[in-house]
Amino acid sequence: MILRFSFLTIFLTLSAFAQHGDEKGARMDPVVPENLIPPSPILSVEEALKTFKLAPGFVIEAVVAEPLVENPVCLDFDSTGRMWVCEMNGYMPDIDGNGESTAAGRIVILEDTDNDGKADKRTVFLDQLLLPRALTVFEDGVLFMDEHRLCWIKRKGDAPVGDAKVIDPKIAEVGNVEHKPNALMPNLDNRYYIAKCDKRLHRVGDSWETEATAFRGQWGIARDDYGRLYHNNNSTLLFGDLLAPNLLQGNPGVKSKLKDFTQLGSNRVWPIRVTPAVNRGYISKAHGFPTNTLDPKTYKLLEATSAAGMAIYRGTNFPKEWYGTGFSTEPVSNLIKAIRIEEKDGILTGSHPLGESEFLASTDERFRPVSAYNAPDGSLYIVDMYHGIIQHKTYMTTYLRSQYLSRGLEGPASGHGRIYRIRSTSGKVESLKNLAALQGLDLVKILMHPNAWQREAAQRLLVERKDAATIPFLSKLTTSGTTVAKIHAIWTLEGMGALKAEHLIAAIQSSDAKLQSSALWASTRLGHDELVKLASVLLAASPSAVEVAPYLARALGPLGTAAAFSRLAELIGTQGKIPFVREAAVSGLDHHEMEFKDSQLKGSHDTNLLDLLAQGAKDANAGTMAATSLKGPDLASYARGKALFQGEAACFGCHGADGAGMPNLGPPLDDSQWVTGKPETLAKILLHGLTGPVTVGAEKYNPAADMPGLSMNPAMTDQSLADIATYIRNEWSNKAAPIPASLLKLQRELTKDRAGHAWTAPELSK
């Protein structure tokens, strides 16, 4: 599902036996003394609740459990407050994953019919799905994702209508269950964002369109009140985007290497039980490794290895100081981490408010929290898969296999699952409203609700219905009410196709940085005729705070006038040292790059800006596929390498589909001297791996774990490795000579004494 411990074990084949996750020559004997490991029996819900240690002032209670729910991994609430749940039945049915290809998953509806806070009714909406992992519910249908498909299916009430329609047959065709797109999160901008993916969705009438966006996350995705996105990877609990999505991606010809996200808080975890069942738990100084995965004194996991679904709490039940806190799930160590998020000048930072304690931790090894959600009643919901095996077979080690079997964690593989509610003892729990029954002004008023779930559900309903009678109410709300209500009104109008220049004027002239930024962002969605009406306002606009500058820079470019170019040059000159201003300006200057350069940058020595403009001015399709220069056998090798990179080897899992690298996992492959330099160097890395730190360009990378060599994997032949090398040397902006299998064969023989021992950068640089 989401668990991986070294950043290129991804090369192991899907058909490999579990122990193919081993590192060659590594000691696989236990690290934790057997007498310190408690048993892991299946606990009833009542017994499981007794194993929880929760932050003071909060209580946890089961909303639903087996037999009404089974192997839940994610959920969505409909407009009446009911839960729609993906049940991932079929995930690791036994220790070897036998039977996983059987379509046993379901989407079910769970309902509380007597209003006692617990679900008591179950309805199966769809069954015979293969490992479903994402869904979003609409009044007229359900958007969902399973192992191979992103689908839309119409519904009438609680029954599907017709067959599911595949939206994009390629979006989930590569990777394994741990590295497949997941989560379908509606955002402020009326787009639906997907984790582990570089696409987003936009509904247009009865059809869905895919759009390019940044590649984000591994399992789960979340948002804040202002549409900024939050994501993770298995070893990083939480990343936060610093800008609205796609603000820097308006110019398809430009590939900026500037990272517009940041890590929030550390990855340190504090389990309350020993954690021997960590895939790379054998990595310890006692076994000859330079680091410890487990604390050698407490035998507990030191840092996250399985970060999963997260939520930014924005409800009404918790005390006010908890609003905006991030909650990240970590199923291997059976806990939920609270991350306090603070902001200054648009820069986010994270800290751990509970110190060396977790918000929620359990001594039950089968407690597998995998997702977290803001709930209609203002509380926080936690999805517990309650599954003994959480590591997929693709990456399982002999060490972990032994741990699972020793405590009977391999079974039962189905029949259990829980969804919990966490609430504050000092706060009120809201009674559920049937938002679907509200019309007109009554529904618009919900955009002012203090509970984010209520606001967002109302926006989705208004956008779905596109009721013209609500436009006057929404127009009025853009200039009255709270900042968040005004922002919702603006974006609701955008989603309805009713946004006009007049709706943005007051917000752009506001001294409220969040409102001003969101209105400038929304201006980029206006058609040309409406944008022209806004020209004088944009030209006169002044950032009310540092964080607004990139949004104004992005909004000015599309005007394409001499006055806009002059104002933009002024903004770049005065705000040029503020992060993202240059990149945002170029993003908005699509098709106007040379006009701007010729009129404003004569004699300029700003090479960074000039280079970005030059990139954007090129045909967006030119040069993006360097492999077109390859012919015959070399082109065939490239094609095989691409298939391995995106499929069986799943290299994109750590290095990104765009070769830009993944934080804490793998450095970039695009424009990397390690890739396009000496063929012998790349061959050595592929064969025996690489340990950090490593410098690519001018930036230093030190991934959380080594890249293991591929020489240990019999499925990766000399030709396979040569194909991968040829592909990455000729993809993205790379253009280097292909590598033949004979070179891999020679280097394999010359370096066979390393026995899979990873290289260091200094060794390879000699």
Instruction: Supply the CATH number for residue 739's domain.
Output: 1.10.760.10
Domain match, 573 and 669 both: no
Domain match, 680 and 566 both: no
Domain match, 380 and 351 both: yes
Domain match, 630 and 603 both: no
- Residue 57's identity, in one-letter code, is G
CA-to-CA separations, 298 to 282, 285, 294, in angstroms, rounded: 15, 15, 8
Domain match, 211 and 300 both: yes
**Could you write out the DSSP letters of every residue in 31-81?**
SS-GGG--------HHHHHTTEEE-TTEEEEEEEETTS--SEEEEEE-TTS
Domain end call among 366, 397, 424 = 424
Domain match, 551 and 515 both: yes
Which pLDDT score, from 0 to 100, does residue 484 have?
98
In a domain, 108, yes or no: yes
Token pair recorded at residue 23: 């590192």
Q: What percent of the chain lies above the pLDDT cut of 70?
A: 94
Q: Which residues contact 377 (CB under 8 A, 6 or more apart)?
A: 81, 315, 317, 421, 429, 430, 431, 432
- Residue 53's identity, in one-letter code, is K
Q: What is the pLDDT of residues 637-654, one digit of tens each?
A: 998 888 888 766 667 767
- Specify the 3-state DSSP secondary structure of 585: helix
Domain end call among 424, 447, 466 = 424
Residues in the chain: 766
| CATH code of residue 308 | 2.120.10.30
In a domain, 485, yes or no: no
Q: Which residues contact 210 (CB under 8 A, 6 or more apart)?
A: 167, 168, 171, 199, 200, 201, 202
In a domain, 328, yes or no: yes
pTM over 0.85: yes
Q: Which residues contact 153 (CB under 8 A, 6 or more apart)?
A: 126, 141, 142, 144, 160, 161, 162, 163, 164, 165
Residue 235: domain span = 9-247+257-424
In a domain, 452, yes or no: no
Question: How many domains would you assign to the chain?
Answer: 3
Domain match, 580 and 663 both: no
Which pLDDT score, from 0 to 100, does residue 650 have?
66
Which pLDDT score, from 0 to 100, does residue 692 have?
79
In a domain, 3, yes or no: no
In a domain, 231, yes or no: yes
Domain match, 655 and 612 both: no
Domain match, 298 and 343 both: yes
State how far the Cα of 346 lies from the Cα of 336, in Å rounded to an integer.
26
State how far the Cα of 515 lies from the Cα of 442, in Å rounded to an integer.
24
Buried b (16+ CB within 10 A) or exposed e, 304-328: bbbbbbbbbbbbbbbeeebebbbbb
State how far the Cα of 85 lies from the Cα of 87, in Å rounded to an integer.
6
In a domain, 489, yes or no: no
Domain match, 30 and 97 both: yes
- Specify the 3-state DSSP secondary structure of 11: helix
> Cα torsion at 724, 729, 732, 734 (round to 10°)?
170
* 346: region left, alpha or beta (phi > 0 left; psi from -120 to 50 alpha): left
Domain match, 605 and 638 both: no
φ, ψ at 746 (rounded to 5°)? -65, -45
Domain end call among 393, 424, 455 = 424
Token pair recorded at residue 84: 């729609």
Low-confidence ranges of the chain (pLDDT < 70): 1-21, 23-24, 619-628, 647-650, 653, 704-705, 712-713, 755-756
Domain match, 108 and 203 both: yes
State how far the Cα of 675 lies from the Cα of 561, in Å rounded to an integer.
42
